[in-house]
Amino acid sequence: MAGEKIDIHLEPEEAFGDYNEMLVFLEPKNLFPPELEEDMTIEGHALPAQCNPDAPHDVIYTVTEIYPEHVVLDGNHPLAGIALRLHLTVVSVREASSEEIEKGTVGVGFFNVQPEALGSPHLH
């Protein structure tokens, strides 16, 4: 219902996980292209072959610091280790379209029709 409010508190393990120092790697700068900049991201499977073999290939690394001879790659999610507090207010409510009801979603992946709502034109 419009105007309703909810507060959500998620600890790191319920959100983006605890910060894992084992996902931080110092790599030789000469392994990377000269246009490398801080805050760029690199998929683990695209790391140069000469990088630390212990660096997992199934994460996305953020270049957090660039030194004259080395770069720091951090495989943690940027929000890892941070508790989240969300204060939400329902601004408006509308009827679901027939396409949304048929698909069971509004198309954003996290809202869907719950089984108890089938036959209802509202998404939950």
Q: CA 63 to CA 52: how far, in whole Å? A: 15
pLDDT of residue 102: 82
Q: Which ranges of 1-124 would DSSP assign to H, the alpha helix?
A: 98-103
Model confidence pLDDT, tens digit, residues 36-77: 999 999 999 999 999 999 999 999 999 999 999 999 999 999
What's the pLDDT band for 18 if we cut at 50, 70, 90?
very high
The secondary structure of residue 41, as a DSSP letter, is E
CA distance 37 to 44: 17
83 contacts 11 by C-beta, under 8 angstroms: yes
Domains of the chain: 20-74 (2.40.10), 94-124 (no CATH)
